[in-house]
Structure 1
Amino acid sequence: MTHVPALPVRRGLIFVSAAGIAWGTGGAVGDFLRRAGHLGPVAVTFWRFVIGAALLLAVAFLGRTASPRRLAAPRSWGMPLALGVAMAVSQVTYFAAIAETGVALATMIAMGANPLFVTAGSRLLFGERPGRAVKAGVAAAVAGLAMLAGGPGEFSAAGVGYAVLSGATYAAVTLLSGVERGRSAPGQTMAWSFAAGSVCLLPLALADGVVPSGGDSGAAALSLAYLGAVPTALAYGLFFAGLGVVSGTTAAVVVLLEPLVAAFIGVLLLGEHLTALQLAGGALLMAAVYRLGRAELATGPAEEGGGRG
């Protein structure tokens, strides 16, 4: 087993916060690549994984002197493959939801659905029995999702479905990451997971069109580099490093920075619009997720991680 040095808790919280902010910019970049680069959700996710894996493996290679095992291939590919496939489905459906509903709405629905599935998965897999506070939080979150999906304008049943599926598959990543915690260096685990996911996505990406075909190829290339470097390699590396000292429920609350940043970008910079009903649903949803985190913290640290990108 690889020894992973513990971080101070304060630094872990900073890492998780920075990851949430970085993730919040990823949806807008993916939407730009769809419009300006004519890249579909599969192609965007493929490049995100390839660049993210390359950067994380490069960091591990540069640090091999201090820890020779940092670049070692996993003894079993089961966990990296499972994480890679789950993250691939989550990201593809997330970008598909953005194409249908916009950045702000897609991110809020995906982020709101994620803790619901985590709660259900924890009950089925680990036997955790939610108390009254948790049940009330789940009910409020469901109501918030209904309000978000029920507004006029950019509503799309397909888009809402993609966003919910994105939250569900990232819940699988959340639960699996709790099993993997402490067994290997966070960056190494994510590097091999991104590599496995990119291999799975390659045939679909080739069929979908993997080369940007818009008029501004330079801007598309810079956007892909940013997407792979900041909301992927940096954000996931920081997040899973922070989970070494920050409980999963605390992390799930902190990374609510992601939908807030995405909503800010979508409404103020991309000209998206949310109705009063949808804004109220978003507020109820965020309050419910926060309440879930508080309820879980009151019963002790959780073993699972939280968040997405």
Structure 2
Amino acid sequence: MTHVPALPVRRGLIFVSAAGIAWGTGGAVGDFLRRAGDLSPVAVTFWRFVIGAALLLGVTFIGRPAGSRRAADPRRSWRMILALGTTMAVSQVAYFAAIAESGVALATMIAMGVNPLFVAAGGRLLLGERLSRAAKTGVGAAVAGLAMLAGGPGEFSAAGAGYAVLSAAAYAAMTLLSGAKRSGRADREGEARGDTVAWSFVAGAVCLLPLALADRVLPSGGDPLAATLSLAYLGIVPTALAYGLFFAGLGVVSGTTAAVVVLLEPLVAGAIGVILLGEHLTPLQLAGGALLMAAVYRLGRAELAAGPAGEGDGRA
């Protein structure tokens, strides 16, 4: 059996950080699609998954040398694929529903603020991940920073907050599932590699198709062309590229650290709100952003010092 070297931790952190930055643009695009394309959160997520799956499958099968292509393995963990697809679908639909209720900035801040707590608790209880002092400090600082970011002006909605928490819970489940390999509780074929991620998007799209058809699956409204181009961007950058980088980075970065590093997402969402949407940040929110960046830096340094996650576990 061929073994390949593990991804360097530094590169894994860069991958996860890039995913967070790309995801930061997704909320604004999804909100634009709701307004300009008259698409529901289910329809937006459905097209996001369809486009992302097509791109990832194309990269996986076209980029793989012909001699290395393997026949389908009947032992492939379709349960893992279905679980990842379902959790990603629930997370995204709930996220766009939260945006519709509370706006891009506040929905993103709540969802991403709660997520590290779910991941840290789940990683400790389910995967046996031990939280170092640096991890505890980083998670605490990240949550405090996001609380400060959310403390400014914004439309608070109980329904929006509920959707955001549901999105965070599903996202945490996805993170823990894809990182389960480091604990030795997932088989080799269940690892979140490129083809598994792509098929997870297919599974999620299939689950969402009946719901999307029951409403409106094609863009309409004021500017269908702009909506179509926005869907293409949403499927390419914050989906195929971002999820591919995120799952690759999770091969060497712990789930708790990844959950904090991708908090770059609300920072990017906040910057888009200020620069493009004319929103304003208070001094409290600016301080919260600085604290959040400090937490990301702290976790990144701790991860580099600890070395590759799962080192010596026989990962192929």
Indicate the TM-score class for this superposition, using the shorter chain for normalisation. 0.7 to 0.9
Q: CA deviation at 1:171?
A: 0.5
Question: What number of residue pairs does the alignment pair up?
Answer: 303
Query: Structure 1 runs of 4+ off > 6 angstroms?
Result: 70-74, 292-300
Q: What is the 5 A alignment of 1:80-99?
A: 80-99=81-100
Of 234, 242, 248, which residue of structure 2 is paired with 1:241? 248
Of 176, 185, 197, which residue of structure 2 is paired with 1:190? 197
- What's the counterpart of residue 306 of structure 1? none
Q: CA deviation at 1:285?
A: 5.5
Task: Specify whether residues 226 and 284 from structure 1 end up closer, same or farther in structure 2 by C-alpha distance, changes over 3 A only.
Answer: same
Q: CA deviation at 1:71?
A: 7.1
Matched to 1:156, the amino acid is: S
- What's the counterpart of residue 114 of structure 1? 115
1:66-116 Cα distance to aligned partner (Å, 9 max, x none): 531387687231001101110111111111121222222222222221110
Matched to 1:83, the amino acid is: L
Task: Name the CA distance, whole Å, in 2 between partners of 1:98 and 1:115.
Answer: 20
Task: Name the CA distance, whole Å, in 2 between partners of 1:104 and 1:70.
Answer: 45
Q: What is the 5 A alignment of 1:135-174?
A: 147=148, 151-174=152-175
Task: Name the CA distance, whole Å, in 2 between partners of 1:292 and 1:179.
Answer: 20
Matched to 1:48, the amino acid is: R
Matched residue of 1:69: which SS? Answer: coil
Of 254, 258, 275, which residue of structure 1 is paired with 2:265? 258
- What's the counterpart of residue 47 of structure 1? 47
- What's the counterpart of residue 176 of structure 1? 177
Task: Name the CA distance, whole Å, in 2 between partners of 1:256 and 1:190.
Answer: 21
TM-score, normalised via structure 1 length: 0.83
Q: CA deviation at 1:125?
A: 1.2
Task: Name the CA distance, whole Å, in 2 between partners of 1:74 and 1:268.
Answer: 49
Task: Name the CA distance, whole Å, in 2 between partners of 1:288 and 1:238.
Answer: 21
* Structure 1 unaligned spans of 5+: 304-309
Task: Name the CA distance, whole Å, in 1 between partners of 2:142 and 2:34.
Answer: 30
1:52-74 Cα distance to aligned partner (Å, 9 max, x none): 11111122221341531387687
8 A Cα contact 1:33 1:44, kept in partner: yes
8 A Cα contact 1:109 1:164, kept in partner: yes
CA RMSD of aligned residues (A): 3.1
Task: Name the CA distance, whole Å, in 1 between partners of 2:100 and 2:281.
Answer: 16
Matched to 1:41, the amino acid is: P
Task: Name the CA distance, whole Å, in 1 between partners of 2:129 and 2:123.
Answer: 6
Question: Which moved further from structure 2: 17-26 or 214-223?
Answer: 17-26
Matched to 1:17, the amino acid is: S
* Structure 2 unaligned spans of 5+: 183-187, 311-316
Q: CA deviation at 1:33?
A: 0.3
